[in-house]
Amino acid sequence: MFPGQGSQRPGMARDLLRHHGAIAGPLLLEADLALGLPLTEICTLGTAEDLAATEITQPAVVAMSLAVLEVLRREGHFAPGAVTGHSLGEYTALVAAGVLAPLDALRLVQIRGRLMADVGKLTPGGMAAVIGLDAAEVEAVCRQAAGHGLVEVANYNEARQTVISGEAPAVAAACELALARGAERAKALPVGAPFHCSLMAGIEAEFAAELSRCHFADPRTPVLSSVTGGWIRSGWHARELLRRQLAAPVRWVDVLHTAHAGGYGHFVEVGPGRVLSAFARHTVQEAVVRSTNDARRIASLINDNTSHQEKDMS
């Protein structure tokens, strides 16, 4: 599982470079040169404010996730049975599955971040997390708040956590209505634009043109899409889903249920943060869930995987 925007944190590359610099360092430097951005410096020394701009956040999270993935592959000999990513994380998943080249993925998310940020500058919108109501109730709240402007469900994260997105007055009204219905919390998220709602539809054509310039191979490893919650069938299908992803909600609950129904019981979050690990634990309670948020967790995961491989060979 590869995380998306919101998983970034100041200094997120420091631990990785200190303990796995020989692998992570060259990969991050390649990203710096390809994008013309000091991502290594930003991910090591940058502040939360430095990481906040969408056009910086998106390539930074993908670069970090790719670096951790490479460490797991080379030091822990990891070969996942399937991969998936939460929104932005789907680009890293497609790299892991052999669908996209790493530098193509980084260039695409840099452009994606810029286009999304442009929408945020033109439209005073926002996002909010509603906790304590089921998804159907949140959908009803959005319909009820429609008189204040556009507001839609953006992320189906877990049974009792749903994110909404849209025009600022409508999002605020929906939060008030959700609290009146008994939500535990309805809090604004610190994002620069109203992601995953109809307000993003206007950038689909321009981004589709960028997608058409990149080669999309058929998956070598099964990939679950956060747009549909189902399996990606081909390289063409992957490209089309990335276009749709801009304005479509993230169906993470469906992703986890599909993975579980397919027999997957071990979930590893590869990249910064532990948000997806929490979603997996809450949604598939019998699953074994691990994260790679710091060097200690990466080392534990590598050691356990190596031990299992040695036991299988004996």
Confidence of residue 307 (pLDDT cuts 50, 70, 90): low
State the greatest distance between any 2 C-alpha atoms of the chain, in Å, as a whole number.
Answer: 66
Q: Report which residue type is found at 150.
A: L
Q: How far from each other are the two terminal CA atoms of the chain, in whole angstroms?
A: 30
Residue range(s) defining the domain that contains residue 297: 14-120+198-313
132 is a domain residue = yes
Q: How confident is the model at residue 313 (pLDDT cuts 50, 70, 90)?
A: very low
Is residue 8, in this structure, part of any structural domain at all? no
Active-site residue list: 87, 196
DSSP string, the chain: -B--TT---TTTTHHHHHHHHHHHHHHHHHHHHHHTS-HHHHHHH--HHHHHSHHHHHHHHHHHHHHHHHHHHHHH----S-EEBSTTHHHHHHHHTTSS-HHHHHHHHHHHHHHHHHHHHHS-EEEEEEESS-HHHHHHHHHHGGGGS-EEEEEEEETTEEEEEEEHHHHHHHHHHHHHTT-SEEEE---SS--SSGGGGGGHHHHHHHHHTS--PPPSS-EE-TTTSSB--SHHHHHHHHHHHTTSPEEHHHHHHHHHHTT--EEEE-SS-SHHHHHHHHHSTTSEEEE-SSHHHHHHHHHHHHHHHHHHH-
Closest alpha carbon to 90 in 215, 283, 243, 224:
224
Task: Pick left, alpha or beta for residue 158 (phi over 0 → left; psi -120 to 50 → alpha; otherwise beta).
Answer: beta
Where among 188, 215, 233 does a domain terminate? 188
309 and 208 in a single domain? The answer is yes
- For residues 232 and 142, state if they share a domain: no
Confidence label for 314 from pLDDT (cuts 50, 70 and 90): very low
Residue 4 domain flag: no
Average pLDDT over residues 199-210: 97
Residue recorded with tokens 């260039």: 107
Please answer whether residues 197 and 247 qualify as being in contact, where contact means their C-beta atoms are separated by less than 8 angstroms: yes
Same domain, 221 and 111: yes
Contact yes or no for 108/176 (Cβ under 8 A) = no
Domain termination site, one of 188, 215, 243: 188
User: Is pLDDT at 306 greater than 80 in this prediction?
Assistant: no
Q: Specify if 9 maps to a domain.
A: no
pLDDT in tens, 136-152: 999 999 999 999 999 99
Is 291 inside any structural domain? yes
159 within a domain of the structure (yes/no): yes
Separation between Cα atoms, residue 283 and residue 31, nearest integer Å:
34
CATH number for 178: 3.30.70.250
105 and 143 fall within a common domain: no
Cα–Cα nearest to 39, from 71, 20, 65? 65
Which structure tokens are listed for 68? 């951790």
Residue 179 lies in a domain: yes
Regarding whether 139 and 95 lie in a shared domain, the answer is: no
Quote the pLDDT of residue 123: 87
Instruction: Among 148, 166, 188, give the residue marking a domain's end.
Output: 188
188-207 average pLDDT score: 94
pLDDT for res 190: 84
Q: For residue 118, is pLDDT > 90?
A: yes
- Residues 6+ away with beta carbon under 8 Å from 121: none
**Per-residue pLDDT averaged across 163-184, rounded?**
97
**Once rounded to an integer, what is the mean pLDDT over residues 208-234?**
98
Q: Are residues 53 and 75 in the same domain?
A: yes
| pLDDT of the residue at 149 | 97
pLDDT of residue 45: 96
Are residues 205 and 65 both part of a single domain? yes
Asked if 183 and 250 sit in the same domain, the reply is: no
pLDDT tens-digit map of 59-95? 999 999 999 999 999 999 999 999 999 999 999 999 9
| 22 in any annotated domain | yes
Residue 243 has pLDDT above 80, yes or no: yes
pLDDT in the model for residue 310: 47
Are both 218 and 278 inside the same structural domain?
A: yes
Above 70 in pLDDT, residue 308?
no
Provide the pLDDT for residue 305. 75
pLDDT in tens, 262-292: 999 999 999 999 999 999 999 998 999 999 9
* Residue 221 and residue 305 in one domain: yes
Q: What is the CATH number of the domain that holds 253?
A: 3.40.366.10
Residues 99 and 220 placed together within one structural domain of the fold = yes
Q: For the chain, how many structural domains are there in total?
A: 2
205 and 62 in one domain? yes
Query: Rounded mean pLDDT of 187-195?
Result: 89
